[in-house]
Structure 1
């Protein structure tokens, strides 16, 4: 074990320089890259056109099939029907046209009638004039002249002749019926192919009328002439409709994880095209996955390095944290890679067997929650890559979620670090949560599982949860011993009365032992009142006076029924003996490889305080003494725990020396000791505040009042014969 300590010490010495810290994280990144290199290496397959596939191939990522998408767009464009627009104004135009023909004929008739009346009046005594009907051909020509050539060219003379011959009643009836029939038919859609049927419809309507023969035929001819096409092809709207249909076509995608070809299925041209599209047939290897992996590792390692640079700890402790974190990370990465090698299991994804909370729980016990969360995030990110075998892509998102959530649950469940059984209890609870987490992921992915698969899920959740706690408890002592880390578990082991040093205090300096127990009770409650580590304070108190075992009779608590040897010694010699118990204690603790925190408490609990008794004794003897010579060498308390212990140590000794301690005397005594330490500058090097000192004052007062409470004085009964 000494070799391990030496190696770790050398590494710590190197890590004092930031360049070696950076090199360490670069090394961790290179190892991580090497571990995950195979997991991102693009898969190459051997398939040939029109031959059966030797394996089932799934799409590694979602890609758009542009060729198939274009075919679907062309099909959608073909299915779009042409858009035709109804010209509603055509109906009124044709009605107005036929109405103008009737009006022209009516004007001719009126002109002819006027001329006939004039002729009759001028030739009353002469021969009779000709009637209108007798000059019809000339009148038809006159009516045509009032219309355009396009109209007269399409209509026969018989139409105008019939209208000119008709009497007023039939003329008006013919006009109304013709215009109504034209309006009715032209109000409906009449495409080019429906023009003749529309003419027939208007003819049928007029045939059913009660008009006389010639006028009816004239009306029919006029109506058929009026019916024309009123629905026309709209190129703009048709193009817009085609464009909308094309745009509505969803891109054809080969989805990630979609089976392109089943094992034994013939690779036809379409499948071969899809394989090529998915990148399986590319001759050149894509380097993008390797670049992406490098970027991911660079980001995570840079983040960790930056975090450790921000930690406000002393240099030695920071180097220990960096080394310990690195070892735990490498161990977890090795376990993860080993478990992933069995990924070919038939029934279950092997990520669920991985002890996902192991690293998080171990880092929480050894270091702190922040680093535990950090290592959980890093391992979850890498887990998506390491466990991607059998996944459709290079990232197994479910694996990453499982590691992240299971690790976080382990951190939360390990709410106390007091006993190893708590770690095991956390593992049992974690097993249940792991199973529920697996079910949640399976249900979200809509995976249909068989009964045997559920059995494997139960087994895997138990293995993952229990192995996390078992591994944590198993490797914890090695890290504690190798790095000299003081954990709660280690503190509890050191508090065992059977520890060799505690047995030595009890047997060689029983007064010091009981004094240490009393100080431990005072310091623990006081530390807990200000949020400091009460257990560390208690265990530190057990060992803070271990140096007194070298010369126990020179300390007043051990002078039972013996003369005080200091009465025969010079104050300088007595001072040296008393002060020496600090260095003697540090030496003994280092000999037994006690944690540095315990050693620091033994070295700092007196700070640089003055040995008042021997200083005043030397001054009374008339000697020229310097106050600095009668002070402890220090250093002053560096932590809150040591500061509280120094107060509790003085308070316990002072109260024990009081003849009749009362509540007021105890309060005054505690306050005076704290004020004296403040004025002496003993707390200048630790971060304890005035508010916390006031809380320490109250805690010590309550504890001491409970110990030295008033008791009933029992009467002394004399025995009688």
Structure 2
């Protein structure tokens, strides 16, 4: 026994040491498969395009990009159609009137200075007007202003001011200035009778009147910016046909092709880097899901290898169908059996794994089938693959059965056909019955093909990986199985005990969301090792002497402790599933064999507690933990005299509490809440089994009653 334990621990340690390396290699293999499956779908096309030559093929834009030259042309056109903005300056009239006032005020002031001659006054006045008023008047006009009477000077000022004010109250553009000056002269001629004054005032007004409706540079610039903002950029849309096969490539078309990057040789490595990052993200998400979810992927590298193989098969079917697209048959991509991967995973591994993987299958498929799309991803196929993959998981369900596969295939086929129909209705093109019928036929065939392939592949996976599917569990629960017949014939008490443990553990596992069928079937085989020495176990000692009475506690202990590992060896020899073998080894964990430990103490021995403990391992998963509890509970209740509901409840809680304190659940993920639920369920099951019964009278009592 010591040698077995040592070897067992060594094997487990070695496996644990290499486990992470093996998982890393498997995830790396998954990444390589993904990258290889999508590699040729992201290779940049080498276009042999030249201006004024026919296009070798239909060329579509792979991306949405702005055509900068066309955008600039649109902006220039918008600016040219925009009229400049002019504004009427009301203050200009007042400014010019102030200049009129300044001229007449100066003339009035010089008239009052009699010490200066007229010629000097004229020269002085010309200099001042040129400097302050920025006007140049003739000597004749200035002499008129300096020699007329004060009354005439005031009258002339008023006439000039009124003419300037009235004319400049209207919009005067630069081109309108001559006409405005003529109008001012007419007003002056109507107001002044003196020809000399008319000429002087006309010259002054001609110099004073200026444009007041002027170009507003700031407003025009702001309006130009607003117009430019309103100009929509010239976009080359993803999927837009740039040139048809055989069509002559113009300069404009060549510029469009260049703008999309199809002629850019320097960026040819970008798609490969993008695909690498895309695959890394997919593998990283898969690894996180595998490590954080309570699925078979978390606990077993063998299961992870199975997952990688299923992934490979699914991608291989996609690639095969993508090659068939060369036949140019409408809608042939819809025949892809996407649901094959999710149906296999739901049947062989877990429902949740299938749902998660359906997203990955859809993403990979959208790249593999991007030949029918302009960009890197075929969005329509992504939607189709996602719906089909999810349907494969949903219709198989959480409790898969082989009998459900064909039925699920039918449902998937109908859903696929409905999805393709929806795509046709989305399209704005004319509905063609022949094309639609062909595509729907392919979609229907996809569901049937997925079901047929699933039925064909499941047996190979079950055999090759020794997968414990519900179908196989049902087969193993058959009482005619050779190992169960062995237990029934050689240890009938153990067989009855195993059936009772199966009932208890199945009900408890179903209550906490674990695999009840696995628990029941594993219970049938958990004590198979007792067939090696059946009479040394109390349930098989029917009216016979207990052989342990003649053995030392040390020998008895060795026989009892060996039975989990004897059973595991028999199960391994018969190539039984790993989960059932694990339950056989783990159902006692490292618990203490109390009876013989205390018996050794009573005989004056000084036993070590660790020598009277099972070597383990402890329960590694919920079903194993529940079976261990049910094993102890069933044996304890069977030995109880007159069991009642209260006694049963106290006993069950005591056994669970004792195992919990002893650390027997430390290596599995069962929670205290689940232990409480399991305890309640076992109590209900036991109360149904050991309920009170009516005592029926024997024959003599009946005769006495009849004679009375």
Q: Is this a same-fold pair by TM over 0.5?
A: yes
- Corresponding position: 1:596 with 2:578: yes
Partner of 1:707: 689
In the alignment, which residue of structure 2 is the partner of 1:53? 55
Do the aligned partners of residues 473 and 634 (structure 1) sit closer, same or farther apart at CA in structure 2, a change above 3 Å counting? farther
Structure 2 unaligned residues grouped into runs of 5+? 1-10
What per-residue deviation string (whole Å, max 9, x for no partner) do you get for residues 188-215 of structure 1? 33233222221233345556x5765758
- In structure 2, relative to structure 1, the CA distance for the partners of 1:633 and 1:527 (3 Å cut) is same
Give the unaligned 5+ runs of structure 1: 1-8, 113-138
2:305 equivalent among 297, 307, 323: 323
1:272-421 paired onto structure 2 within 5 Å: 272-281=254-263, 286-301=268-283, 317-343=299-325, 352-368=334-350, 372=354, 375-400=357-382, 402-404=384-386, 407=389, 411=393, 415-421=397-403
Q: Among residues 483, 498, 502, which one is paired with 1:516 in the alignment?
A: 498
Conserved in 2, the CA contact under 8 Å of 1:360 and 1:407? yes
* Structure 2: distance between partners of 1:232 and 1:152: 23
Shift of 1:260: 0.9
CA distance in 2, matches of 1:15, 1:484: 24
Q: 2:544 aligns with which of 539, 550, 564?
A: 564
Q: Out of 255, 258, 265, which is 2:247 matched to?
A: 265
Q: Deviations over 1:598-646 (max 9, x none)?
A: 12323443556677788999999x8989798996855354244334333
**Does 2:627 match 1:645?**
yes
2:166 corresponds to 1:184: yes
Q: 2:598 and 2:24 mapped to 1: Cα distance? A: 56
Alpha-carbon distance in 2 for matches of 1:471, 1:107: 117
SS in 1 for 2:274: helix
**1:260 partner SS:** strand
Tell me the secondary structure at the aligned position of residue 477 of structure 1.
Answer: helix
Relative to 1, partners in 2 of residues 1:557 and 1:177: Cα closer, same or farther, differing over 3 Å? same
Label 1:550 to 1:449 Cα distance change in 2 as closer, same or farther (>3 A).
farther
> Are positions 1:196 and 2:178 aligned together?
yes
Contact 1:65 1:251 in 2 (8 A): yes
Q: Is the 8 A contact 1:59 1:256 kept in 2?
A: yes
Contact 2:334 2:446 in 1 (8 A): yes
Partner of 2:616: 635
Name which of structure 1's ranges 328-337 and 657-666 shifts more when overlaid on structure 2: 657-666
Shift of residue 261, structure 1, vs aligned partner? 1.0
1:331 shift after superposition: 1.2
Contact 2:297–2:304 (CA<8 Å) still a contact in 1? no
Q: Pick which of 100-109 and 15-24 moved more.
A: 100-109
More off after superposition, 469-478 vs 537-546 = 469-478
**What SS does the aligned partner of 2:693 have?**
coil
Preserved contact between residue 140 and residue 161 of structure 1 (Cα < 8 Å): no
Match of 2:8 in 1: none
CA RMSD of aligned residues (A): 5.2
Question: Structure 2 matches for 1:612-691, cutoff 5 A?
Answer: 635=616, 637-639=618-620, 640-658=622-640, 660-670=642-652, 673-674=655-656
- Scaled by the length of structure 1, the TM-score of the pair is 0.75
Which stretch has the larger CA shift, 282-291 or 481-490?
282-291
Higher Cα radius of gyration: 1
Report the 3-state secondary structure (helix = DSSP H, G, I; strand = E; otherwise coil) of the residue aligned with 2:371. Answer: coil
- The answer for the alignment partner of 2:431 in structure 1 is 450
1:148 aligns with 2:126: yes
Residue aligning to 1:252:
234
**2:242–2:256 contact (8 Å) kept in structure 1:** yes
Contact 1:618 1:625 survives alignment (8 Å)? yes
Distance 1:190 1:344, change over 3 A: farther
Query: In the aligned structure 2, how far is the partner of 1:372 from the partner of 1:395?
Result: 22
Residue 39 of structure 2 corresponds to 37
